[in-house]
Each structure stands twice: as C-alpha cells, then as structure tokens.
Amino acid sequence: MPGSEISREIYWNVTAFSVVLMYLLAGATIAVFTYGFYRRYRLWRLGKPANRLDHVMQRVAAFIAYGPGHGRTARDLYPGLMHLLIFSGFVTLFIGTLMIMVQADFDVQFLHGQFYLFYSLFLDVFGFLAIVGVLMALFQRYVVKPEYLYAMYYDGIVLGLLLANLVTGFGVEGLRMAATELRQGVAWAAWSPVGYVVAQPLVALDPGALQALHTGFWWLHLLLALAFIAYMPYSKMLHSFTSPLNTFLRSFEPKGQLSTPDLETAETFGAGRIRDFTWKDLFDGDACTECGRCTAVCPARSTGKLLDPKLIVLDLRNYITRHERGLLAGRDVAAGDPALPALVGEAIPEQMLWDCTTCRACMQACPVLIEHVPKIVNMRRYLVLEESRFPREVQGVFNNLENRFNPWQLPHQQRAAWAEGLDIPTMAETKGQVEYLLWVGCFGAFDDRNKRVTRALAKILKEAGVSFAILGSEEKCTGDPARRIGNEYLYQMLAQENVETLNGYGVRKIVTQCPHCFNTIRNEYPDFGGRYEVIHHTQLLAELIAQGRIKPTKPVDEHITFHDPCYLGRYNDEYDAPRYILKSIPGLRLSEMAASREKSFCCGAGGGRMFMEEKQGARVNQTRVGMAQATGADVIAAACPFCTVMLEDGITGKGLSEQMRLRDCVELLAESLGEAQAGGSGAG
Amino acid sequence: MNVYVCVKQVPDPNAPGKMDPATNRLVREGVELVMDPWDEYGVEAGLQLVEQHGGVLTVISMGPERAKEAMRKALAMGAERGVLVSDPALAGSDALATARALAEAIKRESPDIVICGTESSDGSTGLMPGMLAELLGWPQLTFAKKLAVGDGKATIHRQTEVGFQIVEAPLPVVVTVTGGINEPRYPSLKGIMTAKRKEIVELSVGALGLSADQVGAAGAKEQVLDLAKPEERQSGTIASDEGDGGVKIADFLQQRRFI
C-alpha cells in the first residue's frame, strides 16, 4: 500500500491466521445468535393467530417513524437523546465495520482519499457520542435511579458490554495510530479525532510494546463485540430487532376497541394460559426495552397500587422463558401441571389486574407500541368468565346490569325521569324522525349530580334548535363497565340488545353525554352490526358555537383547569372540542395541568374501577385533584360523568370543598348562555 | 351426600310488581322472570356442602315449562341436575299443594338434606318448607345463618331477633336458610354454557301418584280474600346533638337490643 495515499492499512498488526480465526468465531457467534432468535420464535408461535400483516405501507411508515425515527422514544428528552446517541453510534459503527469487511475481504477498494477521511471522522464522532449515550444511561440508572427504572443485573451486563466495546475499539485505534500515523507524522491523523487523542500519550511507548498491546486490545475488542452479538437474543438487547419490528406489527384497529370473541364457539374464555394470548401478545414481551415509561405514567402505580404495567408485560415474557420446555412440550396450566405455576394468580397477581383503570396512559407512553390494556382485560375475562373470581363488590354491578340495565339497583323504567318537564321526545314517539339520538348513559340518567348536566345539555340543544330524541327506558347500559371488568358475556348481551334497538329506529347519528358510551358505541358496536356517526356532546356544542347557533356571551368569572377524560382524549383523540367551548366563554381563565391532553392522569374510574373499592395506596381521584389544585384554578372542568363523580369526591376527600369546585363544560356553557338556573351551577 | 335445593321462578322482585285485581294475585305474565334471589343462598349453601362432602346437588322446582330458565341459573352456579314438577293441573297451587307435589318428587330420590329459602320473594308465606318437612316426616331446621353437616346430623345457627341458637337434627332434614348465610357465587360463563347441557327431569302429577284434586286450584285450601296497601313506614327518629348525641344513639340501639 503506498504510504502517500490517504488511507490506512486494514488488519495492521493482525496476522492472516487471526483473521481466519476471527471469521470462524464470527460464524460461531452468528450461529449462537440465530439459535437464540429461533428459540424466541418458537415461543411466539405458542400464541393464537392474529393478522398483523395488512396495511403494509402504513406498517413500513410506522416502522420508520417509531424505529430509526425515534417517533416516541424522543418524546422524553433525556432518555430520547440517550437512546439516539447509542443507537446512531452503534448503527454507524456497525456499517463502518461492514465496509471494512467489504474492502479487506471482498477486495473492493474504496476506503481512501477524502472518502476515507470523512469515514474515519464519522466513525470516531459517532463512537464518541455513543460513549456519551452509554454514560448517560449509566448515570440515569445508577445515580439518578428513578423509581420506575429499577435496575436488573442484566442492565449492568448490557451497558458494561456496550461501554467496553466502545472503549476497547478506541483503544485499538489509538494504539494503531500511535504506532503508525503519529510516528509517521501524517497530516490527516486528526481526522480520526478520538483515536488521535488516545494515541497522544501512547506515542512514547516503544514500537514493540505498542504492537503487543495492540494485538491484545484487538482480540479483546473482537471477543467483546462477538460476545455482545451472541448475547443479544438472550438479553433485552433483543429489542434492537423486536422493538422496531413491533412498531411494524402495530394494531390498526380503533384504539378504543377491544376484541370481540365468539363466546358460543370458544373453548376457553379470556387469557389464563399462554396459548390463550395471541402471538403478538407474546412478541410484545420481547419488544419491551424495560424503559419504564409505562410504569412512570400509570395512575395505579403512581398512587402506590400493586399494578405495574411493565411487569404485566415482563411477567408474561419471563413466564414463557422460564417454562420454555414445558410449554413447547405442549403442557398447559389448565391440565394442572405442577411444573407450571398458574399464569394468572401466581406469575401475575390478580390484584395487579384489578388495579387497572384501562386509562391507556401506558400504551400512549410506550415508545415501541406495546399493548398493555388488551392483555389486562383479556386476563380479567379469564378470571370472570372461567373462574368467576373478581372483587366481590362487582357482583352486584353485574346483577344490576343484567336485570336493570344500569349498575345500580334502580328500576330501568325510571331511566327517563331526569327529563321530566323538559318535553324531550323519545324515539318511540318520533318514530326515529330526528337528526340525533341523545344517548344519555346510566350516570346521566340516574346519578343526581350528572342529571343536572344532562338537563343543561338537553336545554342547550333545544334552544339551539337541534333535532333530537332519547330512547328513554329503552336505553340500556352500553356494557362498557362490564366489558372492561372482564364480563364479556354480559357486555355482549347488552351490546346486542342496544344495537337491535338502535337499528330498529334506523338511528344514524348519536350524540353521547358520556365518553365511555361514546367510545363503546363508536368503536365497539360495529362488531355487532351497529354503525353510527357518534359524537361526544362537547363536539356537538363546539360545532354549535362555531356555527353561531349558540352564543356564550355572559361572562363567567372563573379560573379553571380542564381534566381530559381518557376515553375522549387518549382513546378518541378529542382534546380540542372541550377547550374550544371553554375558550369561547368570556371571562373564563384556563390553566392547563402538566398532565393534560395525551398525558392526562385518569380520575380513577375507568375499567370498572368506579365500582371497585380502592384499598391500597393514595386515592387516584385525590391525586388528580392535587394536580388541578397546583394550577391555582378554583374550578375543575370535566366532560365525563365518571370523572365528575370521582373528582368531586376527590375535592371533598381532600377537604377542599371551600376552595374548589367541579363543573362540567356544559354547565359552564349554560351559565354563559344565561341559563345558570337551568343547568344548576353549584358544585354541591 | 345428596343435597336438594328448592328453587322458584318469580317475577323480578326489583321490578315494580303488579297485582291482578280479578284474582288478587301477582301478575306473572309479561314480566321479567328470574330465579328467586333468596334461593341463591340455598343453592350456594348446597354447593358448599357438596364441595365439602362430595355428592350431587339437585335443584328441584315446581312450575310451568319456563321455570327451567330459572333452574338454569342454579345449574350455571354449579348444581348438577334438575327436577321439575310440571303439569297443567298444578296451576293455582297453594303452599300445601306445592309442598305435596315437591314432597312426592323428593321421596322418589334419596336425599340427605333439602335446603329451601326462608320464604319466596313473591308469595312470602314462608309456609312451604315446614309443610314439606311434615309431609316427608323429617325434622326441619329454620332460619339458618350457618350450616354444618357431619356425623349423620345437621347443625345450624338459627337466627333470632337478638342473636342465634345452635340447633341440630339428624339427617335427612329440611333446612331453611337466611340471606346472611353466605355470598352466592356468580356463575362463570363456563358454568352458563355447561348448564345448557345439564339434565332437567320433568315429572307430571300422574307420575308422582297424585290425583288432580290434591293439587292446583282444585286442591288449594288457601284463598286470597282481599288486597290492602301496607302501612306506610314510619319516618325515622332524628336525634339532634346537643352534646348528648352519643348517649341518645346508645339508648336507641339498646332499646332495640342491638347492643
């Protein structure tokens, strides 16, 4: 190789024998790597089928956006940057290494001249940034130690290997440069800036020592690199492949839609054994990077409950790992195999499942699109439908939903009692000849506090000349609480009956008072042949304001903060309509909570939690009220009857009844329209 | 151990009931019919006995064909089989005629214990279990809030106004249970699905060796003479606290022997 040409001697100080040995070792490494992958693949295949190969172009787009694009990873600055540095460093170094292989072993000469200079600069800079990234990770994990990032032994191994690879790599470079480029005084040495700096103190050593040291470091670096690659499929570094793949395999169903099993033909109900999950559920476990973002945002976890969404995913993964042989041999928990502990109840404590409010904060936070909530509901289904095990206070709710079509012991004939004196027609009276069906929901129809909201809403709609009717006593609970508690059987009965009623009247447009009803009718009733245009009342009201059909003119002198309902916001992406209403009311001052919009913190009522006792930790509703209080607002504005009940309770529970009040957006709007009396503006 | 539990299909007690002024009886047509919620306690008590001692739990009922729907609830909870006494001749039966029909059906089996609710939520006579025990010639244990079986006898905690008595009787025995005895289980979907396939034996009056004039309206000795609204409940006492609130409440509870 001519000395004047800008380049470097590849395999300097490396014997041909070493290169051959290197390739043999690399071959063995690839075999170990492939075998590790294969073992995981066998385990994924234990799951039930699920089609995640439709919408291919959208999948590719998701893969690019969430994988190398860091779409969600970068949403949190520190870990996002940390990951980007390590990720881009290793990708660059890996490509750089492949380029060396192409030049040295396939004899394609291109690493010379200016290209070589930039090549070398690039690799050095990105390698250095990767070191910064790894140090950031070590600092976060072992110095800052956030509660959600509990470190496992293998986190140390992985980070240690990453750092050792980078450091020895620069060691090899520095030793080579000290012995060659620096000694020869070539001008371009500084284009490898890190190697250049490392080489400075080494120049003083004698050439023989440098050569010997270089040989040692070269081997050390090689073995560490191969060890790291071989270890990948056996450790959380598997995520380098599974996480981006997981974003490719994302769901394209509506976020608020749970699966609808055919209960007549099903042999098992819900998920109580590994085989009851889909392969994608099992794959999720391997896609998890254990970053803990789900843990950090979970309202159950952050109020001291047992539930940790990350552990749900990891427990499932660890279960298939630990019982790999038994599971592959076709053993099953259901067969009472003593070698296999119960998945639900032993590996995953039941209380964890009951703690969940299905608020979807975990799924919204997950950088790799893991689906926590469907797994939790599926395991609840198993507990309710197969084992009949659930918090005892829920049994009454089931019985009431079954017999009275509302969660309480209230006669369903009284469902339209709230409308007394308002002259609101029923669908039966109008024969369906109206534009909208106003779906009131159980809370809006029976709960005294929320009846005031319903009345205010109905009055506004009437004033605005909206053509609407109600179902009256023909309306039944949508089944949302039953479904999310796991009683799919009860849910399906209610859904079928409601769809039959709705289709009987030829209903096309539905406006709902409750985000839970909104979500279920909109996203889940299509499975039962119920296809309607469903909007939430805040959406309709915002539209009426925009069209000038109602004009909020009377100032409402309040300092408010808006609490996003999970099933309106995170599940259905509606954050703006309620804010549009609030901003159109003169006099209102709106302060946002840090946890607002997609980061909203659940009131604690979703997933049937409304009807369960909260025995552990701090109260979710009071915690949320505390966040509202921190904004300095006097009024929490709500747009969901569940939230209204929970947060009003939270205000009382925290002893803030004198300072704070809760008002639905509708009530605030009614006051501004000069209907304070009608809506009932008091909090108590 | 062979456990039998009597169940009855009644109009949903939580729906506002209607009376037929012509017959002075509850309207049973065109209303939501359910297994009497009081019977759930009996079924649960029976299931617990079978779980402890082994054996078979049979539910037994008298009523028209549709009463099977109510029995399915008990089968879904875990009962193994059903026996339904069903015959057009049974229409209009009073408590005694019902007891007679059920007693004949039970005699054809070999029960160790028959469990009933204390009373039905529609008729509320509370007479049937006593008559049943008499017709079977067995002892009866009533108002059980706790039930245990062993050594050929049944022992109960019998609820009284001020506490409970411990009473025992040799098997076979008729036991009536109160709402406090247990928390009835919620049937699993597996239970509901398998209940559809469980056997319900139907018996006619003839098959029981009874004649038509012993049962039904013809054999009924009870007559409903008149209907009247129950007296309106007295409103409660409001004790205002003038520094002696605690004493007032304690006195109130003591008068009623709660403490």
DSSP string, A452-505: HHHHHHHHHHHHTT--EEB-GGG----SHHHHHHT-HHHHHHHHHHHHHHHHHT
User: Superfamily assignment of B2-255 in CATH?
Assistant: HUPs (3.40.50.620)
State which H helix or E strand residue B187 sits in.
none
Q: What is the pLDDT of residue A209?
A: 94
C-beta of residue A610 within 8 angstroms of C-beta of residue A574? no
Q: What is the pLDDT of residue A4?
A: 54
Q: What is the pLDDT of residue A171?
A: 96
Strand spans (E) along A523-621: 533-536, 559-562, 589-590
Chain B partners of A390 at a C-beta cutoff of 8 Å? 186
Mutate to test the interface with B, among A382, A389, A398, A399 (most CBs of B within 10 A): A399
Beta bridge partners of A663: A637
Asked if B34 and A398 come within 8 Å (Cβ–Cβ), the reply is: no
Comparing A550-564, B13-27, B183-197, the range with the smallest average pLDDT is B13-27
- Distance set, CA A50 to CA A273, A280, A283, A483 (Å): 17, 7, 12, 21
Is residue B240 scored above 90 in pLDDT?
Answer: no
Task: For residue A399, give the chain B residue with the closest CA.
Answer: B186
DSSP symbols for A593-616: -SS-GGG----S-TTTGGGS---S
Residues counted in chain A: 684
- For the record, the structure tokens of A342 come out as 């119960």
Distance CA A557, CA A252 (A): 44
Kindly report, residue by residue over A88-147, the tens digit of the pLDDT: 999 999 999 999 989 988 888 888 889 999 999 999 999 999 999 999 999 999 999 998
Mutate to test the interface with B, among A267, A344, A381, A385 (most CBs of B within 10 A): A385
Asked if A388 and B14 come within 8 Å (Cβ–Cβ), the reply is: no
Amino acid letter for position A500: E
Q: What is the pLDDT of residue B253?
A: 87
Chain B partners of A398 at a C-beta cutoff of 8 Å? 186
**CA nearest A61: which of A243, A253, A239, A247?**
A247
ipTM above 0.95?
A: no
What's the rounded mean pLDDT across residues A495-519? 97
Task: For residue A410, give the chain B residue with the closest CA.
Answer: B14
**CA nearest A93: which of A58, A138, A133?**
A133
3-class DSSP state of B82: strand
Distance CA A661, CA B127 (A): 55
Asked if B189 and A398 come within 8 Å (Cβ–Cβ), the reply is: no
Amino acid letter for position B82: G
Q: What is the pLDDT of residue A334?
A: 58
Strands B2-6 and B56-62: parallel
Distance CA B16, CA B14 (A): 6
Residue A385: which of B12, B16, B189 has the nearest Cβ? B189
Task: For residue A413, give the chain B residue with the closest CA.
Answer: B15
Task: DSSP letter for A278, please.
Answer: B
Q: Nearest CA to CA, how far is B7 from chain A (Å)?
A: 18
Asked if A413 and B192 come within 8 Å (Cβ–Cβ), the reply is: no
Residue B185: which of A386, A388, A411 has the nearest Cβ? A388
Kindly report, residue by residue over A244-261, the tens digit of the pLDDT: 999 999 999 999 999 999
Q: Nearest CA to CA, how far is A388 from chain B (Å)?
A: 5
B interface with A, Cβ–Cβ < 8 A, is 12, 14-16, 32, 34, 183, 185-192
Asked if B186 and A398 come within 8 Å (Cβ–Cβ), the reply is: yes
C-beta of residue B43 within 8 angstroms of C-beta of residue B184? yes
Is residue A28 scored above 70 in pLDDT?
Answer: yes
Can you tell me which residue has the tokens 């599971």?
A: A327
pLDDT band at A150 (very low <50, low <70, confident <90, very high): confident
What's the rounded mean pLDDT across residues A548-572? 96
Distance CA A608, CA A345 (A): 20
Residue A392: which of B183, B188, B192 has the nearest Cβ? B183
Task: DSSP letter for A575, please.
Answer: -
Q: Nearest CA to CA, how far is A334 from chain B (Å)?
A: 14
Provide the 10 A C-beta neighbour count for residue B107.
14
Distance CA A551, CA A68 (A): 48
Task: For residue A397, give the chain B residue with the closest CA.
Answer: B186
Q: What average pLDDT is seen over chain B?
A: 91
Is residue A682 scored above 70 in pLDDT?
Answer: no
* A314 or B231, greater pLDDT: A314
Chain B partners of A488 at a C-beta cutoff of 8 Å? 189
Cβ within 8 Å of residue A413, ≥6 positions away:
A473, B15, B16
Asked if B186 and A263 come within 8 Å (Cβ–Cβ), the reply is: no
pLDDT band at A676 (very low <50, low <70, confident <90, very high): very low
CA angle B127–B133–B138, rounded 5-degree value: 160
Provide the 10 A C-beta neighbour count for residue A329.
11
Distance CA A14, CA A668 (A): 78
Chain B partners of A384 at a C-beta cutoff of 8 Å? 188-189
Can you tell me which residue has the tokens 């017709």?
A: B135
Amino acid letter for position A595: A
What's the rounded mean pLDDT across residues A280-292? 96
Kindly report, residue by residue over A356-366, the tens digit of the pLDDT: 999 999 999 99
What's the rounded mean pLDDT across residues A74-78? 92
Chain A partners of B16 at a C-beta cutoff of 8 Å? 411, 413
Q: What is the pLDDT of residue A380?
A: 98
Is residue A291 scored above 90 in pLDDT?
Answer: yes
Provide the 10 A C-beta neighbour count for residue B255.
9
Note if the bond before B172 is cis, omega within 30 degrees.
yes
Beta bridge partners of B156: B147, B167
Q: Nearest CA to CA, how far is B71 from chain A (Å)?
A: 17
Kindly report, residue by residue over A328-355, the tens digit of the pLDDT: 988 776 556 677 889 999 999 999 999 9
Q: What average pLDDT is seen over chain A?
A: 94
Torsion of CA A319, A320, A326, A328, to 10 degrees: 170
What's the rounded mean pLDDT across residues A628-633? 97
Asked if B187 and A387 come within 8 Å (Cβ–Cβ), the reply is: no
For A340, phi then psi, to 5°, come to -110, 115
Q: Nearest CA to CA, how far is A38 from chain B (Å)?
A: 36
Kindly report, residue by residue over B124-154, the tens digit of the pLDDT: 899 999 999 999 999 999 999 999 999 999 9
Q: What is the largest CA-CA distance in chain A?
A: 101
Beta bridge partners of A562: A637
What's the rounded mean pLDDT across residues A34-58? 96
Task: For residue B184, give the chain A residue with the closest CA.
Answer: A395
Q: Nearest CA to CA, how far is A471 from chain B (Å)?
A: 19
Asked if B15 and A388 come within 8 Å (Cβ–Cβ), the reply is: no
Task: For residue B37, give the chain A residue with the closest CA.
Answer: A399
Residue B188: which of A387, A395, A399 has the nearest Cβ? A387
Chain B partners of A269 at a C-beta cutoff of 8 Å? 189-190
Cβ within 8 Å of residue B11, ≥6 positions away:
B17, B26, B27, B28, B31, B32, B33, B34, B122
Q: Nearest CA to CA, how far is B188 from chain A (Å)?
A: 5
pLDDT band at A390 (very low <50, low <70, confident <90, very high): very high
What's the rounded mean pLDDT across residues A278-289? 96
C-beta of residue B89 within 8 angstroms of C-beta of residue B66? no
Distance CA A72, CA A244 (A): 11
Tell whether A398 is within 8 A of chain B (Cβ).
yes
Exposed (0-12), middle (13-18) or buried (19+): which is B231, by Cβ within 10 Å?
exposed
Task: For residue B193, give the chain A residue with the closest CA.
Answer: A264
Strands B140-150 and B153-159: antiparallel
**CA nearest B176: which of B81, B21, B45, B72?**
B45
* A181 or A540, greater pLDDT: A540
Residue B12: which of A263, A398, A403 has the nearest Cβ? A403
- For the record, the structure tokens of B87 come out as 């015959």
- For the record, the structure tokens of A469 come out as 């009717």
**CA nearest A681: which of A642, A631, A635?**
A635
Comparing A224-238, A552-566, A586-600, B230-244, the range with the smallest average pLDDT is B230-244
What's the rounded mean pLDDT across residues A11-19? 91
pLDDT band at A683 (very low <50, low <70, confident <90, very high): very low
- For the record, the structure tokens of A398 come out as 């089931």
Is residue A677 scored above 60 in pLDDT?
Answer: no
pLDDT band at A432 (very low <50, low <70, confident <90, very high): confident
- For the record, the structure tokens of A568 come out as 């309106």
Provide the 10 A C-beta neighbour count for residue A227.
16
Tell whether A262 is within 8 A of chain B (Cβ).
no
Domains and CATH numbers, chain A: 16-248 (1.20.950.20), 274-387 (1.10.1060), 393-545 (3.40.50.1860), 549-679 (3.40.50)
pLDDT band at B32 (very low <50, low <70, confident <90, very high): confident
Which A residues 508-547 touch B at CB under 8 Å?
Answer: none
Q: What is the pLDDT of residue A616?
A: 95
Exposed (0-12), middle (13-18) or buried (19+): which is B124, by Cβ within 10 Å?
exposed
Amino acid letter for position A663: R
Ordered strands of the A533-536 beta sheet: A468-469, A436-439, A509-512, A533-536
Q: Nearest CA to CA, how far is B10 from chain A (Å)?
A: 13
Task: For residue B185, give the chain A residue with the closest CA.
Answer: A388
Distance CA A438, CA A461 (A): 10
Which A residues 434-453 touch B at CB under 8 Å?
Answer: none
- For the record, the structure tokens of A156 come out as 């140390």
